Structure 1
């Protein structure tokens, strides 16, 4: 190696001397060392640049893998904790019909009676207070859902209180509509039985049996088929029909009130 470098330096010195430059072999040898050093530095920089590029590529791949794993975990959590998917989500009209029907259904009877008993001023103040509490509660629920990454009420309860909170909420969500359905059956039995007795006066002697029959057929023929849906969005049509009936009854009551048949 040293002999080849010495020969290269001698040849380089001889070439420079022929061109009129006074350069010794030692100087040419030093120049060759400098040239080799520059080449080695250049190669070192290239290797370092390649290593940095490889490290950046590896970091990018790790970030992609981490993001994909996080997305998979979120999807698994949603499927396990929330039990919802894009196919079971309700559209805006469907959610509106179901939500309004859940409010108007019981509020048509309860709210007017409560305002009548409490008085206009106090009843209106209580109505505004309850509306504010409900709105603030829904805002808190949405914020909690964004924080814990859950998009359903049971999922939020499970994230906050564990499996016991999930089971407690499931029990409450079952008891609330179950008891509400019992009250609706009582109202339907009292109302439709009187309507049927008007059309069939002979049934008036067995009013209790008529009432039980109405409750049975309404429960089996209307309530049970609607309860078999696994997706709440399927109830949007039934909610729309219910709202249409409420609007019809509202106009009927207004017309009767204007005609003077009823007195407040």
Structure 2
């Protein structure tokens, strides 16, 4: 352990021996920001609805602090030993098992992130196309089929980005992604004050539904989300919510 973290090493000037990075600071910020948020931002609203405002903010702050501290440890360790690659850093610390553990963790994280993005493409993009085309019902055209859209996006967007030699250029794609996130965030906040809760088409069945057996606020049928009458208290935010689900 002393060889890995020698005494007084933090006072020495950092000298990396593996490779020289060519990505600018701005591109690195875009890539890191996109990696931190990613598709997981879509689940924050559901998480808040099932935990409450106070508990959600506490958990979000705790995760942010743990993530920040883990990044601090990685940067400090890489600065001490002069290695910036995760696999080589794991090899220096724990030998071959550490290198394999780092490689497996990175692979699983990439598979999970890519799977979530492709699932969003399959389930949401057909609805977006249907909205732009002003279609009342889903058609059988190929561009309304989520499976075809997944293949199209994988071949035309994901594969070219994955084959790039200079990954720093991914910063442009990450910047565009962050711009889309900001746009949709502003849109959701704006629409929150424009769309009533419950929805107008639900008001007629709201009274009977509240007195009946509680049902979920949405149902999935034929690739569409069918809205139903919300449960009592759904439209009122709560500070604490304990949901076993």
Q: Scaled by the length of structure 1, what TM-score is found?
A: 0.62
Q: Which structure 1 residue ranges, 5 or more long, are not aligned?
A: 1-73
Asked if the contact 2:87/2:103 (under 8 Å) is kept, the reply is yes
1:253 maps to what in 2?
188
Say if 1:221 and 1:230 are closer, same or farther in 2 by CA, change over 3 A: same
Question: What do the CA deviations read for 1:218-243 (whole angstroms, capped 9, x no partner)?
Answer: 11111111111233312000001111
Distance in 2, matches of 1:107 and 1:253, equals 16
Instruction: Choose which of 123, 126, 133 in structure 2 pairs with 1:193.
Output: 126
Distance in 2, matches of 1:235 and 1:195, equals 25
Distance in 2, matches of 1:142 and 1:251, equals 34
Task: Please identify runs of 4+ aligned residues in structure 1 that moved more than 6 A.
Answer: none
1:230 maps to what in 2?
165
Q: Scaled by the length of structure 2, what TM-score is found?
A: 0.66
Task: Report 1 or 2 for greater relative contact order, CA contacts < 8 Å, sequence distance ≥ 6.
Answer: 2
1:206 maps to what in 2?
140
Structure 1 window deviating more from structure 2 (121-130 vs 192-201): it is 192-201
Question: What do the CA deviations read for 1:242-262 (whole angstroms, capped 9, x no partner)?
Answer: 111111112222222222366
Q: Number of residues paired by the alignment?
A: 183
1:217 maps to what in 2?
152
1:52 maps to what in 2?
none
Say if 1:239 and 1:226 are closer, same or farther in 2 by CA, change over 3 A: same
Say if 1:141 and 1:233 are closer, same or farther in 2 by CA, change over 3 A: same
2:83 maps to what in 1?
150
Distance in 1, matches of 2:136 and 2:48, equals 38
Task: Report the secondary structure of 2:193's partner residue.
Answer: helix
Alignment pair present for 1:176 and 2:133: no
Asked if the contact 1:197/1:204 (under 8 Å) is kept, the reply is yes
**What is the Cα deviation at residue 200 of structure 1?**
7.1
Instruction: Choose which of 47, 58, 65 in structure 2 pairs with 1:132.
Output: 65
Asked if the contact 2:91/2:97 (under 8 Å) is kept, the reply is yes
Bigger-Rg structure (1/2) = 1
Asked if the contact 2:39/2:116 (under 8 Å) is kept, the reply is no
Say if 1:195 and 1:149 are closer, same or farther in 2 by CA, change over 3 A: closer
Distance in 2, matches of 1:151 and 1:177, equals 19
CA-based RMSD of the aligned residues comes to 2.5
Distance in 1, matches of 2:71 and 2:124, equals 35
Distance in 2, matches of 1:250 and 1:202, equals 26
Asked if the contact 2:87/2:99 (under 8 Å) is kept, the reply is yes
**What is the Cα deviation at residue 205 of structure 1?**
4.6
Higher helix share: 1
Structure 1 window deviating more from structure 2 (102-111 vs 204-213): it is 204-213
Alignment pair present for 1:113 and 2:46: yes
Question: What do the CA deviations read for 1:102-128 (whole angstroms, capped 9, x no partner)?
Answer: 122224212222122111111111111
1:47 maps to what in 2?
none
Q: Which structure 2 residue ranges, 5 or more long, are not aligned?
A: 1-14, 199-234, 236-245
